[in-house]
Amino acid sequence: MNITEEERFHFRLIPAEQIRGGVVCFLFILLIPALVTLASPMMSPYFYAACAIWVLMLLWGIGIGSNPYRSEVAFVLFMGVFGLALAFTCQIAVLKMMYDLAGLTGIGYGASSLGVMALLFGVFYMLHFRALQKGAYQSMERKGGAGKAGKAALLCAGIGYAAYYIAVAVIGDIGSFVMGMAAFTVLLVLGIYMAVVFIHRYLFIRQHMDKLKAHYPVLGLPKEQRTAAHLTRMNGGTGQQQAQRTRKKRRGSR
């Protein structure tokens, strides 16, 4: 079955053999900002929120890793939700540093930080769909680069967040914590990008599941049946070709 370049882009699944390693890697990355909430005072709402997010992703990851060959599509959604979890956990870590460690007071700092994150979600969402409409992702894959638009978006996001934290440092007099908050910003931007791309990819796949199964016939099959399925498909195609050749020979002999 012929598929479009957009469908080919969305139908790129992580191989089942790599899913377990991916789950472990993602959970480790998610643990990095969560550890910040262990700072004194430890038993705070920030700690409970970060812990709840990590435990939920852990339980989901265990479910996916227990049978990766049946979870290739589910893992796409897992990566998107992981992006959301990473963004919010980094935001929780930043709020922890602002209020509990740096001693800031006032709701304005936290509200502005959440507002910047929400704005970045909107910007990435818009850029993602514009890139799909213009075929930018497909062009990037053919050229093997990140593309000017993608680099510009990430650069602008980094500059914007850097400017925001510099302003917070000056206004709130917390210069010693700026580097820590800026470091988590890198993970936050990565999480937002993953959430936008992979959640949309999962929704696209669910809407075109028939095409995906035709393009990737072993989808959902256990490991021991995948090679057999490929061979059966290939043998079926070869058998049809041989039958056609036999018919042509018979017609020619007549």
pLDDT digits (tens, 9 = 90+) for 174-195: 555 666 777 777 788 889 888 9
Looking at the fold, whether 238 and 140 belong to one and the same domain comes out as no
124-130: average pLDDT: 79
Looking at the fold, whether 231 and 165 belong to one and the same domain comes out as no
Looking at the fold, whether 246 and 165 belong to one and the same domain comes out as no
Residue 247 has pLDDT above 60, yes or no: no
Looking at the fold, whether 191 and 245 belong to one and the same domain comes out as no
Looking at the fold, whether 129 and 246 belong to one and the same domain comes out as no
Looking at the fold, whether 157 and 239 belong to one and the same domain comes out as no
Looking at the fold, whether 130 and 212 belong to one and the same domain comes out as yes
Looking at the fold, whether 33 and 47 belong to one and the same domain comes out as yes
Instruction: Please write the tens of the pLDDT for every residue from 207-224.
Output: 888 888 888 888 877 877
Place of tokens 């061979």: 231
Look at the chain and report how many structural domains it folds into.
2
Looking at the fold, whether 144 and 109 belong to one and the same domain comes out as yes
Phi, psi (deg, nearest 5) at residue 4: -80, 170
Looking at the fold, whether 216 and 234 belong to one and the same domain comes out as no
Mean pLDDT computed over every residue of the chain: 77
Q: Where are the alpha helices (H) located in the chain, listed in sequence order? A: 5-10, 19-36, 45-66, 72-96, 107-134, 136-143, 148-172, 178-207, 209-215, 223-253
Instruction: Provide the domain limits for residue 144.
Output: 5-220
* Separation between Cα atoms, residue 170 and residue 159, nearest integer Å: 16
Looking at the fold, whether 127 and 150 belong to one and the same domain comes out as yes
